[in-house]
Amino acid sequence: MMSQEGMRMLNDIHIVDFVLVDLALYLDTHPYDQEAMEYFNHYARIKNKMTRDFSMRYFPLTKDLAESNKEWRWGDAPLPWEGAC
In a domain, 81, yes or no: no
Burial (CB count <10 Å: 0-12, 13-18, 19+), residue 8:
exposed
Residue 47, pLDDT score: 97
Q: CA-to-CA distance for 36 and 33, rounded, in angstroms?
A: 5
In a domain, 85, yes or no: no
Q: CA-to-CA distance for 67 and 61, rounded, in angstroms?
A: 11
Which residues of the chain are modeled with pLDDT < 50? none
Q: Which domain holds residue 26?
A: 4-74
Residue 1, pLDDT score: 65
- The total domain count for the chain is 1
In a domain, 40, yes or no: yes
Residue 77, pLDDT score: 75
